[in-house]
Structure 1
Amino acid sequence: MNVFQESCCSTLAVLLLFLLQGSRADPEPDVHVHKAVGDSLDLTAHYSKEGLEVKWRYNEIDLAEYDKDQIKRVNPPLFHGRLKMFKDNISITIEALELQDSGRFSIVVVKQSDQLPTKVFVLHVHDLIRDVQIELNDSWLESKNTCVFHLRCLASGDPDPSYSWTGDLVRTGYLVKTGDLVKTGQNQNISLHPTESATVSCTANNTVSAKHTDKTVECREKSEDSKVSPPGFDLKYVLIAVGVGVVAVVILGGSLAVFCRMRKRTGQGQDASEGGITVYEDVNTEGLPKKRSESVINGMSIYETVDDLKVTKTMPQTLYDTITFQRHPPVSASTSSPYQQVL
């Protein structure tokens, strides 16, 4: 009897546990949603309104709720200015998505005291790919008589896009391969023989956008005395640098020459002014003493008149005056001529 009672109790316990587990709503599988920056995310509860209670959660934080035909925000700082609520279709919309909005959104629904399966949306926000460029470096392998092109694809926007390559091979002007070089990855190497060329295309893509660009490379045989430029080397930059250097040297040399010439002239002017009046000095007599000898500090110049230094009025007036202080009396009977011959 006791054994039968124990068996019945065990059976009832199992049935009760089964019923309790069956009353719980099994969670639905997560739905991954990919959106671009600036897009909107709609979270709608597709149920009738009668006896319905809904909660929207973001990373396990209550965001909004619907109860008794009313929908309201629970955490206003979340998505401030970007959260729209619609009670007619029991939904919320997050506008102008940003990269940091990526996360886990859930819709918890209770209808007439029964909890319905929770819907989970995993949001992935991606930046748009804005531009794609191909960087190129080349080298010449003389032992194999081939050109090696090192290609690198760079995309702006999404920091981690996927890359794919396609290309066509051309030999001496004729298309010999189409769709060759179908590869993936950011970096690619291409080997070509002389007279061969290839047009390659790199495509950068993510789940919300894609962009591509093309580039043509051509192999030319190089002479033995030519040197292979190191990766990233460009001759035009060297020429520009040399030109700038020459211009700088010319400007510096001209500036030094002008400076030295001006300095030399300044020194000569100072020497002349310190030496006093020159032999060609202009004499401004206005406001100066009447006599030239009184106005000249260093003495009379060689062009000075004799009048300033004559002793008496009976002395010669000029340098060319006849120096005769007393004239001979007139010739008479008692006097002889100054030119008379004395016998």
Structure 2
Amino acid sequence: MNIFQESCCSILGVLLVFFLQGSCADPDVEVHKAVGDSLELIADYPKKDLKVQWRYNQIAFAEYQNDDFQKVKSELFNNRLKMNKNNISVTVTDLTLQDSGRFSIVAESKSEQYKSKHFVLHVHDLIREVQIEDSYVWLQSKNLCMFHLRCVASGDPSPSYSWISPQTQGPQLNINLSLTESATLNCTANNTVSIKYTTKTVVCKSDNLTSGFGQEYVLIAAGVCIVAVVIFSGAVAVCCRWRKNKGQGESEDGITVYEDVNTDGAAKKRSESVVNGMTIYETVDDTKLSQILPQTLYDKISFQRHPEVSTSTSSPYQEVL
């Protein structure tokens, strides 16, 4: 029975501690800051016998006691911490994205435990620039341009986007325009610390017809032209190479029908000068027979009808006369 009573008292004691802790703390306060801003944490408690501790993610980094400040974890904010005795506050300067987290102020005096204060800090990048990117496709069957637009912001990686005319949310927008029709679009990017917007006008013009369906034919034609140029260039290169090789082969072999035109003056026979044999211009002297035979048609006729000139005849025609 005593054991049961002791256990019940223990449970009630634990619950009472949690209850008192909850009653001594204010709910979390959401704080949004931009990169480069400062966060001031004021301990607005009675100053008499006041002892205060500032914490970041449950780690104490500064204390106030006996009317004086002292740093506990100076490496946390790398000399970006300022302390003010007038209002008993600490200030974190030059905030970065990594400073986002939970800050707490815990205070007490010799006679009282004050309610703790908690702040959840969100550090955001500033939106620096906003642009609208657009692309289109010509729908020939419907005779209109289909535009796809995308809003892009630099700085904060995840801002909120909104469009005007038409009114819609999100970074992307699709609209259809008839030929010569135009539309002026406004995109706004914002977060809790900054806001930027931009405007762009798009027009469905006749020169847009090369997009989409017509663009396929332009690309095909360009591809055919490139292939034709490559084939022609290859053919010219092969032809030139063939002619060059042919010229080199002829000069090396030395075989032409005019090879024996320029003979040297040493009375060398043609059959001896031609390495590969006789040519169609081979001279008669090269193959002249040792016996006396007629050398021409007329010489043969005269040779058969008239003997050689003797002492009794002065010419081949003397007897006839």
Q: Does TM-score exceed 0.5, indicating one fold? A: yes
One-letter amino acid of the structure 2 residue matched with residue 85 of structure 1: L
Q: TM-score, normalised by structure 1?
A: 0.60
User: Out of 244, 249, 253, which is 2:227 matched to?
Assistant: 249
Partner of 2:118: 120
Partner of 2:13: none
Partner of 1:225: none
Query: Residue 202 of structure 1 contacts residue 213 of structure 1 at CA under 8 Å; is this kept in 2?
Result: yes
Partner of 1:212: 197
Query: Residue 132 of structure 1 contacts residue 211 of structure 1 at CA under 8 Å; is this kept in 2?
Result: no
1:130-279 superposed matches below 5 A:
130-133=129-132, 135=134, 153-167=151-165, 181-186=166-171, 198-216=183-201, 234=212, 237-238=215-216, 241-242=219-220, 244-262=222-240, 264-265=242-243, 268-269=246-247, 272=250, 277-279=255-257
String of CA shifts for 1:172-209, please: whole Å, max 9, x gaps: xxxxxxxxx55545566778899986534222211112
Aligned equivalents of 2:284 and 2:184: distance in 1? 103
* Structure 1 pair 94–291 and aligned structure 2 pair: CA distance change class (3 A): farther
* Structure 1 pair 265–160 and aligned structure 2 pair: CA distance change class (3 A): same
Aligned to 2:156, the other structure's residue is in SS state: coil
Q: TM-score, normalised by structure 2?
A: 0.63
Aligned equivalents of 2:80 and 2:203: distance in 1? 56
Partner of 2:7: none
How many percent identity over aligned positions?
Answer: 49
Query: Residue 149 of structure 1 contacts residue 190 of structure 1 at CA under 8 Å; is this kept in 2?
Result: yes
Computed over aligned residues only, the root mean square deviation of the Cα atoms, in angstroms, reads 5.2
User: Once the 2 structures are TM-superposed, how far is the Cα of residue 238 of structure 1 from its aligned partner?
Assistant: 3.6
One-letter amino acid of the structure 1 residue matched with residue 223 of structure 2: G
One-letter amino acid of the structure 1 residue matched with residue 73 of structure 2: V
String of CA shifts for 1:254-295, please: whole Å, max 9, x gaps: 223214423543564577578761212378889x99654333
Query: Residue 34 of structure 2 contacts residue 95 of structure 2 at CA under 8 Å; is this kept in 1?
Result: no
Aligned equivalents of 2:277 and 2:146: distance in 1? 92
* Structure 1 pair 146–305 and aligned structure 2 pair: CA distance change class (3 A): closer
One-letter amino acid of the structure 2 residue matched with residue 328 of structure 1: V
Aligned to 2:80, the other structure's residue is in SS state: strand
Aligned equivalents of 1:259 and 1:52: distance in 2? 96
Partner of 2:73: 74
- What 5-or-longer segments of structure 2 have no aligned partner? 1-15
Q: Report how many residues are paired.
A: 289
Aligned equivalents of 1:199 and 1:188: distance in 2? 13
Aligned to 1:281, the other structure's residue is in SS state: coil
* Residue 339, structure 1, aligned to residue 321, structure 2: no
User: Out of 84, 99, 102, which is 1:101 matched to?
Assistant: 99
User: Once the 2 structures are TM-superposed, how far is the Cα of residue 335 of structure 1 from its aligned partner?
Assistant: 5.3
String of CA shifts for 1:51-75, please: whole Å, max 9, x gaps: 5443322222333444563422427
Aligned equivalents of 1:135 and 1:294: distance in 2? 86
Aligned equivalents of 2:244 and 2:168: distance in 1? 76
User: Once the 2 structures are TM-superposed, how far is the Cα of residue 30 of structure 1 from its aligned partner?
Assistant: 2.5
Query: Residue 132 of structure 1 contacts residue 204 of structure 1 at CA under 8 Å; is this kept in 2?
Result: no
String of CA shifts for 1:39-94, please: whole Å, max 9, x gaps: 33333445687754433222223334445634224273x44x4x423344452414
Query: Residue 106 of structure 1 contacts residue 119 of structure 1 at CA under 8 Å; is this kept in 2?
Result: yes
Q: Identify the structure with the greater helix proportion.
A: 2
* Structure 1 pair 64–304 and aligned structure 2 pair: CA distance change class (3 A): farther
Query: Residue 137 of structure 2 contacts residue 212 of structure 2 at CA under 8 Å; is this kept in 1?
Result: no
Aligned equivalents of 1:271 and 1:196: distance in 2? 71
Query: Residue 138 of structure 1 contacts residue 148 of structure 1 at CA under 8 Å; is this kept in 2?
Result: yes
User: Once the 2 structures are TM-superposed, how far is the Cα of residue 116 of structure 1 from its aligned partner?
Assistant: 3.1
Partner of 1:226: none
* Structure 1 pair 59–263 and aligned structure 2 pair: CA distance change class (3 A): same
Partner of 1:328: 309
Identify which range, 244-253 or 49-58, moves more after superposition.
Answer: 49-58
Query: Residue 85 of structure 1 contacts residue 92 of structure 1 at CA under 8 Å; is this kept in 2?
Result: yes
* Residue 280, structure 1, aligned to residue 268, structure 2: no
Partner of 2:5: none
Aligned to 1:208, the other structure's residue is in SS state: coil
One-letter amino acid of the structure 1 residue matched with residue 273 of structure 2: S
